[in-house]
A and B are shown apart, each in its own frame.
Chain A
Amino acid sequence: MAGQSDPHLSVFSPSEVEFVAEDEIVDVVPNIRMDALNMICGDFGPFFPQIPTKVPLWLAVALKKRGKCTIRTPDWMTVDRLTQVLEAERESPREFQPLPFHYIEISKLLFDHARDDISDAYLVRSLIEDIRDVRFHKVESGLETISGRTHAVKLKNLSAMEVNIVRPFMVRTLQAFYKHDSPQMIQQADNTGSRATPVTDRGPRRDLRRR
């Protein structure tokens, strides 16, 4: 209904996004011997000391907390790679660089629980923060370009947490433009109480805005 806040605007809580990210696969180097784990979410191991193996992040963190493994920093979380990404982010003001969909959550979890396994942790952390800032600035300035001519937005390489943050703004903006542009609304502009049920599923003519 018009004018009412829509609870669907914030769909996932940050902890739910983190929950999803915890299923991302990382490499761990165990220091214990343990049989394979046949879990509901998949089969992992067997684990042998010093032999790297792939496990979901939550399992890696659980083992790490108990001092049973070291977590291998993902390839993209190195100073070299992140410096490149940051530069590229700064050079292309309308594009996002490819990073893991959950790069914010993964890096946060690793910093919280496996800081000692990350080389140049301090630098890596500040690089990721810079990348986040640059990207978020792009998201914000991208919002300004939405107009009544936008019926679809393409956000290549935007990450999960970024989606979650921008979702309420993006959805409300698009909805507002869509509503005010629809032929029905223009006819009954003062009838704010009625639900807009367009007769045909036809929005106003708009261009696809690419980023």
Chain B
Amino acid sequence: MSSWNDDDLAASSAAEAATTDVELLKRAWRNEKASPEILRFESPLVSRVREQIQLLEETLDDFADSGVDDLVVSLYQMDLDRTLFLLRSYLRLRLQKIEKYAMHVSRSDDLLSRLSQQERRFAKSCAEIMEKHLEQSVLSKLPYGYDSVTRQSLSSTEDDMVPEPQLDTFVFCKTKSDVGAFQLDDIGEEVVDLVADDLYVLRYKSIKGLIESGRIDLI
């Protein structure tokens, strides 16, 4: 991160201090769900939530032994179940995305750096297995020049057989604070004034940076 947005970072971390980890995980889950490509893995957040889940599981065991009111136990259980659902859904969602774009993900260092260690392993083995399968079942039976996993034929100038997420798609998003006039394209012909707490449908590619810096949420 460059130094000019240190203030933004400080401001956003101050705001985050006031929100619970569940709230943050919910935001990560929503963003992940609504974005076409895989986002950065929320590693510290996930481990914090895991810890809290474990703690609550232990507490619930203690409750069972010490005969705490059934009502209280069931309420804590619901809290636990909701958090578990959120965490599982978040992790599964990422695995689905990785599986879908395994080859694309495992070939890009930028994308690989967004994954957790386990996810990276999963992405690589997914891509390997898929490649092996295609090789054995189809490609080995095709004539020379048409037997590449990544290219349609020798005449292809780029890897045109690797499925990639469509970053040009439109997403619904909500602004958290005033972003001000925001440029949607490279040359400054499309400018939108993003006002706090408003709802927009915008092209994913152009607001990617705002999602990463946490100034805008996908919904």
Contacts and interface: CB of A to CB of B under 8 A. Distances in A.
B72 A178 contact: no
Q: Which of B33, B79, B185, B202 has the most CB of A within 10 A?
A: B79
B164 A195 contact: yes
Contact of B80 (A40, A152, A155): A40
Band of interface residues on B: 35 or more
A62 B79 CA distance: 11
B168 interface: yes
Given A20-B26, A195-B160, A175 B168 contact: yes
Interface in A27-65: 34-35, 37, 39-42, 58-59, 62-63
Interface string A120-154: 00000000000000000000000000000001111
A107 B185 CA distance: 40
A160 B22 contact: no
B85 interface: yes
Contacts of A40: 20-22, 49, 52-53, 56, 79-80, 83
Given A37-B72, A171-B170, A178-B168, A203 B185 contact: yes
A163 B167 CA distance: 20
Interface string B44-76: 000001001100100000000000010110111
B7 interface: no
Contact of A66 (B71, B169, B172, B184): B71
A206 B205 CA distance: 17
Contact of B205 (A63, A174, A201): A201
Contacts of B219: 160, 163
Report, nearest first, the 3 A-B pairs whose CB atoms are least far apart. Answer: A153-B201, A39-B79, A41-B22
24 contacts: A34-B72, A37-B72, A37-B79, A39-B79, A40-B21, A40-B22, A41-B22, A41-B23, A42-B20, A59-B75, A151-B203, A152-B190, A152-B201, A155-B199, A156-B198, A156-B199, A163-B199, A167-B172, A175-B169, A175-B170, A178-B170, A178-B203, A205-B190, A206-B190
Interface of A: 1, 6, 8, 11-12, 19-20, 22-23, 34-35, 37, 39-42, 58-59, 62-63, 66, 68, 151-158, 160, 163, 167, 170-171, 174-175, 178-179, 194-196, 198, 200-203, 205-206, 208
Interface of B: 20-23, 26, 30, 33-34, 36, 49, 52-53, 56, 69, 71-72, 74-76, 78-80, 82-83, 85, 160, 163-164, 166, 168-172, 184-187, 189-190, 192, 198-203, 205-206, 219
Given A39-B79, A41-B23, 5 more contacts: A1-B163, A156-B199, A198-B168, A201-B185, A202-B186
